Amino acid sequence: MIRIVALAAALMFAAPAFAQAPAALPAGLDKANSVVIDTTKGRIIIKLRPDIAPQHAERIKLLAREGYYNNVPFHRVMDGFMAQTGDGKNFNGTGGSKYPNVQAEFSQVPFKRGVVGMARAGDPNSANSQFFIMFAEGSSLNGKYTVVGDVVAGMDVVDKLKKAPPGSASGAVTDPDKMVKVQVASDIK
- The CATH number linked to 145 is 2.40.100.10
Domain membership flag for residue 153: yes
Domain membership flag for residue 151: yes
Query: How open is the CA angle 62-65-66, to the nearest 5 degrees?
Result: 85
Domain membership flag for residue 144: yes
> What's the domain count of the chain?
1
* Selected residue with higher pLDDT from 16 and 162: 162
Where residue 1 falls among pLDDT bands split at 50, 70, 90?
very low
The Cα–Cα gap between 45 and 48 comes to: 10
Instruction: Count Cβ neighbours within 10 Å for each residue of 115-144 and write b for 16 or more, e otherwise.
Output: bbbbbbeeeeeebbbbbbbbbeebeebbee
What's the domain range around 161?
24-187
**Hey, CA dihedral for 31, 23, 146, 74, is it positive or negative?**
negative
Encode pLDDT of 20-49 as tens digits.
455 688 899 999 999 999 999 999 999 999
Domain membership flag for residue 6: no
Encode pLDDT of 101-154 as tens digits.
999 999 999 999 999 999 999 999 999 999 999 999 999 999 999 999 999 999
